[in-house]
Amino acid sequence: MTAIASIADDQKIDGNTPTMRLFALLEVIAQKDQFFSLQSLVEELSLPKPTLHRMLQQLEGAGMIQRDGDGRQYSTGLRLRRMAQNLLLNNTVHGARHAVLRQLVDEVGESCNITTCVGSEVLYLDRVETAAPLRFYLHPGSRVPVHCSASGKLFLAQMTPSQRRRLLGHSALEKYTHKTLTTAELLEIEIERVRRDGYAMDDEEFLPGLLCVAVLVPIEQGKSNMAVAIQAPIVRMTAEKSLQCLPALQRAAKALAAIEVSNNPPL
């Protein structure tokens, strides 16, 4: 049963309580990748306008959604985003994911991480460091910009041009190294290459001397919000050499996808 169906038919909501109706509405909101309005929800859900208005007021008061644009549009609020981040960081499947990551590190000999996209940043969900003495330490919970990270480029490549403009168009792309892509035009060219090749690379674009290659964790439907990546100093791994690690990286991505499926069976 979808969240929309649950809202449209109160009798199908568990316990028929206001709390469950609000939760069902949050499920609908969480699926949106752009601003939404009261009127658009009325048309989508076929619910009375006063009822939806009251529900939106409650969610806004709780910090779960916020007003944007001209004040008539909404987006997810800070409290809801923080909740989503904490769920990802403290997920009960962490142990299984970590085992896949450790096996990948054993296979390629370099540090590896699992990431997700949060706004205009990439959030590290997990990381296993190489035993090699020279390495870059980025712990779980670290954040890096989407425009100059391998995982970030993968997430951007799933968005439409208008979504990328909304996400990145309000400020200049910060320059971290002499290789950072700092214009929308250059970034769009790179994103097209990422779409074509199925992997992304950060070749000293965020930190001097650091190279990273990443692939998405595949899902059956929709957009993936999880990537797995290998990071190494350029003294040990060139861009050309990193491509030899792609098969191992893709196997790890498939293993992570299987974990997600087994822990999130279809409703």
pLDDT at 115: 94
Single out the residue of 266, 264, 267 nearest to residue 96, CA to CA.
264
The pLDDT of 252-260, averaged and rounded, is 91
Indicate if the pLDDT at residue 230 is higher than 80.
Answer: yes
What angle is formed at CA 240 by the lines to CA 234 and CA 242, rounded to 5 degrees?
Answer: 65
Tell which CATH classification among 3.90.79.10, 1.10.10.10, 2.60.40.1930, 3.30.450.40 matches the domain 91-263: 3.30.450.40
pLDDT at 28: 84
CA distance 242 to 253: 16
Indicate if the pLDDT at residue 2 is higher than 70.
Answer: no
Lowest mean pLDDT among 33-37, 180-184, 241-245: 33-37
Domain 3-77 is of which CATH architecture? Orthogonal Bundle (1.10)
Residue 89's pLDDT band, with cuts at 50, 70 and 90, is: low
Q: Are 221 and 208 in contact (CB under 8 A)?
A: no
18 residue type, one letter: P
What angle is formed at CA 200 by the lines to CA 194 and CA 201, rounded to 5 degrees?
Answer: 130
Indicate if the pLDDT at residue 33 is higher than 80.
Answer: no
- The tokens describing 169, both together, are 């168009």
**Residues 6+ away with beta carbon under 8 Å from 108:** 230, 245, 248, 249
Which residue is associated with the tokens 């074509």?
A: 196
pLDDT digits (tens, 9 = 90+) for 144-175: 999 999 999 999 999 998 889 888 877 789 99
pLDDT digits (tens, 9 = 90+) for 51-71: 888 888 888 888 888 887 667
Q: Are 28 and 45 in contact (CB under 8 A)?
A: yes
pLDDT at 8: 47
Question: For residue 231, what is the enclosing H or E element?
Answer: strand 227-233
State pTM to two decimals: 0.68
127 residue type, one letter: R
Lowest mean pLDDT among 31-45, 122-136, 167-181, 187-201: 31-45
Indicate if the pLDDT at residue 254 is higher than 60.
Answer: yes
CA 126 to chain centre: 14
* Most confident of the ranges 12-16, 24-28, 87-91, 104-108: 104-108
Residue 85's pLDDT band, with cuts at 50, 70 and 90, is: low
| Beta-strand relationship, 143-145 and 121-128 | antiparallel
Q: What is the DSSP letter of 213?
A: E
pLDDT at 162: 87
Q: Are 205 and 179 in contact (CB under 8 A)?
A: yes
% of the chain beyond a pLDDT of 90: 44
Hey, where are the domains in the chain? 3-77, 91-263
Average pLDDT, the chain: 84
CA distance 196 to 157: 10
Indicate if the pLDDT at residue 263 is higher than 70.
Answer: no
CA distance 34 to 22: 20
Lowest mean pLDDT among 15-24, 113-122, 136-145, 169-178: 15-24
